């Protein structure tokens, strides 16, 4: 499955970047779900067995707040995931550095920063579902319209 392979590659790439910069131990901040973190850790440990990973998983809002609060003295080495809307906050974006990982040329331009500070490893779709009508038991009174935005 392409999506899974890309996520595995993203985890390894980000780990490799941190390894090169920080040696044998890195601190990773992420808002990935626990099962996704486990995938990233597994790949990182396979590719970089001499690295000790310290992973802190927080919700998106808590992670953005922590990055902002620690901006004068960052305690993380790598961000494995954060919503793009938070990454583009100038206070957080200022904490990032450009990095050109192996294989980044396979990532479409629209999914990466022009200055090389971030790229998207996953995506999501939001939906709004509305039940039309009251408590009546009628067939066919609800309509769902799905709109997907590809930016």
Q: Parse the chain into domains and list their residue ranges.
A: 2-111
**Would you say residue 122 has pLDDT above 90?**
no
pLDDT at 64 over 90: yes
The CATH class given to the 2-111 domain equals alpha beta
pTM: 0.66
Spatial distance between the Cα atoms of 38 and 47, rounded to a whole number of angstroms: 14
Q: Alpha carbon of 31 to those of 129, 133, 142: distances in Å?
A: 25, 37, 35
Report whether 6 contacts 91 (CB < 8 A): no
Cα 104–chain centre separation = 15
Q: At 123, is the secondary structure helix, strand, or coil?
A: coil
Work out whether strand 78-79 and strand 25-30 pair parallel, antiparallel, or are unpaired: parallel
Cα–Cα distance, 56 to 143 (Å, whole number):
41
Q: Is the pLDDT of residue 13 over 80?
A: no
What integer is the mean pLDDT of 1-9?
Answer: 39
Rounded Cα distance between 87 and 82, Å, is 6
């Amino acid at each position: 499955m392409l999506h899974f392979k890309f996520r595995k590659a993203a985890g390894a790439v980000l780990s490799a970047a941190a390894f090169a910069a920080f040696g044998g131990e890195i601190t990773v901040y992420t808002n990935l779900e626990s099962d996704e973190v486990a995938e990233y850790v597994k790949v990182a440990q396979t590719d970089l067995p001499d690295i000790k990973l310290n992973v802190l998983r927080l919700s998106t809002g808590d992670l953005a707040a922590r990055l902002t609060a620690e901006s004068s003295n960052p305690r993380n080495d790598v961000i494995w995931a954060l919503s793009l809307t938070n990454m583009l906050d100038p206070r957080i974006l200022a904490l990032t550095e450009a990095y050109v990982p192996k294989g980044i040329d396979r990532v479409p331009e629209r999914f990466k920063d022009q200055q090389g500070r971030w790229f998207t490893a996953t995506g999501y779709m939001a939906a709004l579902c509305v039940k039309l009508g009251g408590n009546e038991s009628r067939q066919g009174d609800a309509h769902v319209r799905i709109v997907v935005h590809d930016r």
